Structure 1
Amino acid sequence: MHVAHLHLHNFRSYATVDVALEPGVTAFIGRNGQGKTNLVEAIDYLSRLASHRVATDAPLVRSGADQAVVRAAVVRDGRTATLEVELNPGRANRARVNKSQLPRARELIGLVRTVVFSPEDIVLVKGDPSDRRKFLDDLLILRTPRLAGVRADYDRILRQRNSLLKTAGAARRGSSSQEGALSTLGVWDAHLARTGAELLAERLRLAEELRPHLGAAYAAVARGATREDAAIEYKPSFELPAVKAADPDRDVLNDALLAEVERRRNDELDRGISLVGPHRDELLLTLGVDGNVLPVKGYASHGESWSFALALRIASYNLLRDDGDDPILILDDVFAELDGERRRQLAELVAGAEQVLVTAAVAADVPDALAGARYAVAGGEVRRER
């Protein structure tokens, strides 16, 4: 899979730009603020309908414009399809495939797959649990696009349930007459358990499938490391009954969630928030150090943290490859964050990908193993140099 052509209209800093691409390595070279990252961000957006840099679509639309368009010709198994998304902040986005509009924009997800390495990846190790949950969910949705709907449903249910908990809690304390909220809560408990069980099952299975890839990737990028040094474990917000992580029983998880919700009922009413469910879970990252297993966050050095973050991305890439497609690899200003040895190791690991897109402030940051097409990006122009 690779992108053969990219067209942007009113996306970020570009009024209009067209870039012809090809398989292999393509590097975009330019000083900070010139728009090189905007190009690869647009391709990643087509993959996930989300940016790896910002949480909302509004910053993606050029100042003064009310919408932006990202269009790409994507080649897969020798066939070319044109994918397009129209970004409309404050309104529904629209997506097209070969000029035919899709019923919902999210049906575009997964038609092109990307894995992005960027300086922001350090939050996977040093950030909050929400950053690691997002990492898992993004990968889940790329592999199984229908889970975008499951995740959206869960978020909607969670918002509604939290609202009811606040109302019911106030009613219980006598400051509100809306006693009906407490009885309605049972309906939303069932919705939360059903949808949460599906999301929980998929995350458990993904962590299990990702684990061996992570160990191999960490051994490849960290000096002197072995496959056993790096590990991940999915940690739910409560003690689960015995289930097979490789194939969890959703009915068992559903019943367990319902039971825990009932057990924590008073706490939830007191606090007015949902305390049970996948939104409270954690992905534990650990390293073997001198015979001890320690959490990466708080114990790993800066270099070890970077190696772990890189290993998570490489593991994601290899897992997606196991599904049958070479994802498009995007290395966004990542080499400036790495020492020479890690640059070389990363370059050698990804050089064989069908398409690798690199951004760098200076050409010297791009390792020799990633020689290929090169574009200069400056003043809103993208000019091929070789």
Structure 2
Amino acid sequence: MHVARLSLHDFRSYADVDVELEPGVTAFVGRNGQGKTNLVEAVDYLSRLSSHRVATDAPLIRAGTEQAVIRAAVVREGRTAVLEVELNPGRANRARINRSQLPRARELAGIVRTVVFSPEDLALVKGDPGGRRRFLDDLLVLRTPRHAGLIADHERVLRQRNTLLKSMYAARGSSRESALATLAVWDDHLVATGTELLAARLALSADLAPYVGKAYEAVARGASRDDARISYEPTVPEATPEAFRAELERRQSDEIARGVTLVGPHRDELLLTLGPGDDQRLPVRGYASHGESWSFALALRLASYDLLRADGDDPILILDDVFAELDTERRSQLAALVAGAEQVLVTAAVPADVPAELAGVTFHVAAGEVTRA
């Protein structure tokens, strides 16, 4: 799979831009703030319908305008499809394939598969559990696009349930009884979506784990594939409706007192550990060195790429200013590992930041202009 043409309208810094791309390596080179990352961000947005840089769509709209359009011609197994998404902050986004509108924009997710390496990846390892949960959910959608609907439904149920819990603490008498009856209904919805999402994350973590160990061995000096491990730590003892419901009942008084849902996938953790044996294993967060943390972050992305390839489709690799963050050895190791991908999109401030192993087509980006070298 590769993107053959990328067109943007009022996206980020671009009023209009149209770039023809090829398989292999393409580098976008330019000083910071010139718009090179905006190009690869748009490709990634088509994949996940979210940005790897910001949490909402509003910053993606060019200042002074009300909507943005991302359009790409995507080639897969010799066939070309034109994918388009219209970003409308405050309103529903709209998506099209070959000019035919989809019922919901989220149905576009997962058609294009991307794996992004960026400086923000260090937060994936060192940051809060929420980032690691999003990492798993993004990968879930890329592997099985229907999970986009499941995740959206679970988040909607969670918001509604939390709103109800916040109102229940001061409720008395008949108001409290009515609220408890309503809570039981939202419990049913939470159990249904939460159990399915938990089972999907557990299965994904198990599938991903061996690839993480292999990738860490490839990028960390002197490491073996047994050094790096991931494990999914749920708030529910097992992925069954009965176990989920029992835990909700056990924590109900705590949830009402705190006004928030305490049980479910939104509170789970993807635990990352390093060590030569079980008795010497420590969490990466808080214990790993800067170099070890970077190696683990790279391993998570490489493992995602290898897992998607094993599913039968080469994802588009995006290396967004990542080489400037790595030492010489990790630069060369990463470049060698990804050089054979069908399409690699690289951004860099200067040409010297692009390793020799990734020589290919270069575009210079300056003041919103994209020109081929």
Q: Same fold by TM-score, threshold 0.5 exceeded? A: yes
Secondary structure of 1:215's aligned partner: helix
CA RMSD of aligned residues (A): 1.2
Out of 326, 345, 358, which is 1:338 matched to?
Answer: 326
1:324 paired residue number: 312
Out of 326, 337, 342, which is 1:349 matched to?
Answer: 337
2:354 paired residue number: 366
The structural deviation recorded for 1:184 is 1.2
Secondary structure of 2:281's aligned partner: strand
Following superposition of structure 1 onto structure 2, how do residues 1-386 of structure 1 map, counting pairs within 5 Å? Answer: 1-172=1-172, 177=175, 179-238=177-236, 240-241=237-238, 253-288=240-275, 292-385=280-373
Specify the code of the residue in structure 1 equivalent to 2:372. Answer: R
In 2, distance between residues paired with 1:177 and 1:8?
52
The structural deviation recorded for 1:169 is 2.2
After TM superposition, the score normalised by the length of structure 2 is 0.98
* CA contact 2:226–2:276 (8 Å) conserved in 1: no
Superposed CA offset, 1:197-217 (max 9, x none)? 000000000000000000000
Specify the code of the residue in structure 2 equivalent to 1:212. Answer: P
Secondary structure of 1:171's aligned partner: coil
* CA contact 1:215–1:229 (8 Å) conserved in 2: yes
In 2, distance between residues paired with 1:134 and 1:191?
21
Structure 2: segments with no counterpart, 5+ residues: none
* CA contact 1:164–1:182 (8 Å) conserved in 2: no
The structural deviation recorded for 1:183 is 1.4
The structural deviation recorded for 1:191 is 0.9
Specify the code of the residue in structure 2 equivalent to 1:76. Answer: R
Specify the code of the residue in structure 1 equivalent to 2:264. Answer: G
* CA contact 2:9–2:70 (8 Å) conserved in 1: yes
Q: Quick one: structure 1 residues 170 and 188, their matched pair in 2 at CA, closer, same or farther if it must change by over 3 Å?
A: same
In 1, distance between residues paired with 2:135 and 2:370?
31
Secondary structure of 2:27's aligned partner: strand
Specify the code of the residue in structure 2 equivalent to 1:273. Answer: V
In 1, distance between residues paired with 2:69 and 2:212?
36
In 1, distance between residues paired with 2:201 and 2:255?
24
In 2, distance between residues paired with 1:357 and 1:366?
11
Secondary structure of 2:154's aligned partner: helix
In 2, distance between residues paired with 1:257 and 1:383?
55
* CA contact 2:13–2:62 (8 Å) conserved in 1: yes
In 2, distance between residues paired with 1:289 and 1:123?
24
* CA contact 1:168–1:179 (8 Å) conserved in 2: no
Secondary structure of 2:120's aligned partner: helix
Superposed CA offset, 1:267-289 (max 9, x none)? 11111111111011000000015
* CA contact 1:85–1:94 (8 Å) conserved in 2: yes
In 1, distance between residues paired with 2:186 and 2:250?
16
Superposed CA offset, 1:205-247 (max 9, x none)? 0000000000000000000000000000000014x14xxxxxx
In 1, distance between residues paired with 2:105 and 2:306?
27
Specify the code of the residue in structure 1 equivalent to 2:249. Answer: E
The structural deviation recorded for 1:179 is 3.6
The structural deviation recorded for 1:168 is 2.3
Specify the code of the residue in structure 1 equivalent to 2:287. Answer: Y
In 2, distance between residues paired with 1:86 and 1:167?
37
Secondary structure of 2:187's aligned partner: helix
The structural deviation recorded for 1:352 is 0.3
After TM superposition, the score normalised by the length of structure 1 is 0.95
Specify the code of the residue in structure 2 equivalent to 1:310. Answer: L
In 1, distance between residues paired with 2:231 and 2:50?
26
Structure 1: segments with no counterpart, 5+ residues: 242-249
Q: Percent identity?
A: 74
In 1, distance between residues paired with 2:194 and 2:61?
34
1:244 paired residue number: none
Superposed CA offset, 1:149-206 (max 9, x none)? 111111111111112222222214x7x9454111111111111111100000000000
Secondary structure of 2:171's aligned partner: helix
Specify the code of the residue in structure 1 equivalent to 2:309. Answer: R
Specify the code of the residue in structure 2 equivalent to 1:313. Answer: R
Q: Tell me which stretches of 4 or more aligned residues in structure 1 moved more than 4 Å.
A: none
The structural deviation recorded for 1:328 is 0.1
In 1, distance between residues paired with 2:316 and 2:20?
15
